[in-house]
Amino acid sequence: MQKPVLAIAAIVVLSTASYWTTLAQTQPPHTIDVSAKKYEFTPNEIHVKQGERVELRVHSLDVTHGIKLDLYPEGAKSKGAPGLVFDRPDENGKVEKGVDQVLDFTAQEPGTYDFKCARICGMGHERMKGELVVDAS
């Protein structure tokens, strides 16, 4: 009796993941502009919807800054599939002087994801943080 229930549960989980991936690929990305300056991001709390494709554009106003997003939501017990799936994972935390950072990703799992400055920018660098909140749809 348990085997059919487990099989049905597995099908539901895989179908849901496939649905969100397909939906995200057909929708234009939600573009969010973030300004970075010593020692803050504006906005420092960002809300997106589960399954949404996101283009995060980070512009430094003074010295060189960038964003490094956690891949797993706060309190995640398992480090299985990440909750944020990047088109180009190597860009997360990559910073180039004089170039705006652009991160393209799909918000797969609901939860709160911390982000921080990806480049040491002075004495207040450790305070330069924020949150990306993926709201369940």
Kindly give the confidence (pLDDT) of every residue in the chain, 137 residues in length, as a single tens digit, with 9 standing for 90 and above: 565 555 555 454 455 555 545 554 577 999 999 999 999 999 999 999 999 999 999 999 999 999 999 999 998 877 788 999 999 999 999 988 889 999 999 999 999 999 999 998 889 999 999 999 999 98
Domain locations along the chain: 2-135
pLDDT for 11 equals: 59
pTM greater than 0.95 (yes/no): no
pLDDT for 78 equals: 73
Which of these CATH numbers, 1.10.287.610, 3.40.50.720, 3.90.1300.10, 2.60.40.420, describes 2-135? 2.60.40.420
Q: How far apart, in whole angstroms, are the C-alpha atoms of residue 71 and residue 11?
A: 25
Residue 57, Cβ neighbours under 10 Å: how many? 14
